[in-house]
Structures are given as C-alpha cells and as structure tokens.
Amino acid sequence: MNPKPSVLVTRTLPAAVEARLAKDYQPRFNEDDRLYTTEELLAFAVDMDALLICHTEHMSAAVIERLPHTVRVIANYSVGVDHCDLDAARRRGIVVTNTPDVLADATAEITMLLLLAAARRASEGERLMRAGTWDSWSPAFMVGTQLTGKPLGIIGMGRVGQVTARRARGFDMTVHYFNRRRLPEELEHGARFHESLDTLLPVSEFLAVHCPSTPETENLINADCLAQLPDGAVFVNTARGSVVDEDALLEALRSGRLAAAGLDVYKNEPRVRPEFAALDNTFLLPHIGSATKETRDAMGFRALDNLDAVFAGAEPRDRVA
C-alpha cells in the first residue's frame, strides 16, 4: 500500500478539518498558528507532497521556484489566489486550487454589516457607548444615511456579488452591477447591468466591491472613480485592499465627498494605515469576511476535496493553475 501523501499545513485549521487531514494524509500541522517566514516554510516543505496554505502565505515566483520537487499541489484555504503566482506554479507543473462558492454567504453578510454600519454611523455610536460619554439625544443626533430603497452598485457579480444583491433586495435596494460578462437574465433578478463603470458609478449611492484582485483591478477604485459617485455615497470593500487607491479613498472621506466607508480588507494587511482609524466616517473590520464556523469548516473540506482529487489522479474541482 502506498504511504499517505504528506501535507504541510501552514496555519491551524478547524478541528474537523485537521481530523480529516490526520485520517487521510501525513500532515505537518502548525500547532501554535505562528506565521512562518519564507525560509521556515521552505524548510518545512522538504519532502512534502502538498501544501495547504492560506492567503497569509505569499507564494511569489521566487518562493515557488524554490519549492522542493516533491510538491505536486498547493491547495489554498481561500477563494482569493492573489498571494500565489499562478504562472510560476504552472511553469513548475504544480497544481493550484482554491475554495470558491463556500464563502459567499459569510462574505455577503459582512458586506451588509459594512453597508449598514458605515451608513448608520455604528462606529461613532459604539465608541460613545463604550467610553460612557453619551449624554443627550436630539433630532440631529447621529443622523446617518438610510439604505432602504436606495441604489446599490456592485462591481464584480460573481458568487459573493450575487448573494449580496439578494440580501440587498431585502432592504428594497435597487441593484446595479458591472461585471466582465453580463449574467444570464434568470440570475440577474432584475439587477441592471452596466457595460462600464462610467454609467454604474453615477447611480451608486452605495457601492460594494466584489471583484478579484488581479493586475487589471489594481487601484480600480481611484480618485476618478470616487469623483463619479453621487455626493454623500457610501463605499464598502470585502474583496481585496489592492483594488482601492487608499490615498484617494482617504481624501474622499476627509472632504465629505463620501459619507462613509466600511472596510474589511486593506492594501498592506495587517498593517492598516492609521489614517483610516482616525476618521469618524469609517467602519473597520480585520479581514473577517469568511470568519464563521460554518464557512471556515466548508473552506477546509473544499480544500481537502481538491487534495483528494489530485492524489486520486483526478482533476480537482477548483483548479486555478
């Protein structure tokens, strides 16, 4: 009988996922969940058949070129694969997979949380309560922007964008979207397709980004784009920080052009620019779009299904390289 394939698991995963790994593979776990340096990762990868990594592991071309020849597959515990140089993996003949579909509900929930919290000034209110400094009520006190019935622009109408659209309809929002391709009509549920951002942005009193991070989407949300939004718009991002020009966003928030922003992702995580926290009109979360028990388990099982397929000699369902 062949020995079970060995897997370097770079971060601590949910118990049920680690149990399945222990049953079917020879895993090397990261028990204290310490972020490995590149040199540690490369040293631990020696003789491994597979890597099971998160977006916190930066698999640049230089790192991939130095991986041992035993490594056949990099299974990502993430839907985003911008941390992985896919061309470099292809050159090395290493299969790369991700975990699509299973994050959509959790991430759309966080999108709704950001929309509501940014629009209704939740951060300001919460800080007041925690500081014990709330001392009066008046009709002008903490007046925010109402979501109900307003237009929501969605950039990127993949799985997360589509679930966000569904949730937003619960608030009677009218959905507009920009996507590389128009969705089939039965998936649009009345959402209006825009062929360019030039027509989407001027109607987007609320704007949510759900596109992947690619060279084409880098700094997509820049000063020009923000200037096209209606005055007092609300912007939220649960996709990737690289999609936003953070200088331009800070300027739009400071000037009041944007009423507020809700952010879960940033350019240089976890070192977020302190200017965001210094503003009252931001609501900030630490990249927790997929952080529910259900979703984190599902991501792990999906990553393991991909590994199982590779070691069974089959095509993994979520192959990206």
Catalytic (active-site) positions: 240, 269, 287
Residue 78 binds ligand DGY, judged by CB under 6 A: yes
The residue (of 55 and 121) whose beta carbon lies closer to ligand DGY is 55
Tokens of 320: 């990206």
DSSP 242: G
Min dist CB 34 to ligand DGY, Å, is 18
Does residue 175 contact residue 192 with C-beta atoms inside 8 Å? yes
Does residue 240 contact residue 265 with C-beta atoms inside 8 Å? yes
Tokens of 5: 């394939």
Q: Which of 5, 27, 80, 316: binder of ligand DGY (CB under 6 A)?
A: 80
Tokens of 235: 């912007």
Closest CA to 220 of 190, 200, 205, 203: 200
Backbone angles phi, psi at 71, to 5 degrees: -75, 120
C-beta neighbour count of 167 within 10 angstroms = 16
Does residue 172 contact residue 149 with C-beta atoms inside 8 Å? yes
Segment 286 to 305, residues that bind ligand DGY, using CB under 6 A: 289-290
The DSSP-derived string for 128-150 is: HHHHT------TTTT-----TT-
Q: Which of 7, 45, 55, 208: binder of ligand DGY (CB under 6 A)?
A: 55
Q: How many residues bind ligand DGY (CB under 6 A)?
A: 8
Min dist CB 78 to ligand DGY, Å, is 3
The residue (of 204 and 213) whose beta carbon lies closer to ligand DGY is 213
Segment 103 to 142, residues that bind ligand DGY, using CB under 6 A: 103
The residue (of 233 and 303) whose beta carbon lies closer to ligand DGY is 303
The residue (of 80 and 158) whose beta carbon lies closer to ligand DGY is 80
Min dist CB 120 to ligand DGY, Å, is 25
The residue (of 99 and 123) whose beta carbon lies closer to ligand DGY is 99
Residue 282 binds ligand DGY, judged by CB under 6 A: no
Min dist CB 239 to ligand DGY, Å, is 8
Min dist CB 299 to ligand DGY, Å, is 7
Closest CA to 114 of 62, 152, 84, 158: 152
Q: Using alpha carbons only, what angle is made at residue 41 by residues 273 and 78, rounded to the nearest 5 degrees? A: 60
Q: Which residues bind ligand DGY (CB under 6 A)?
A: 54-55, 78-80, 103, 289-290
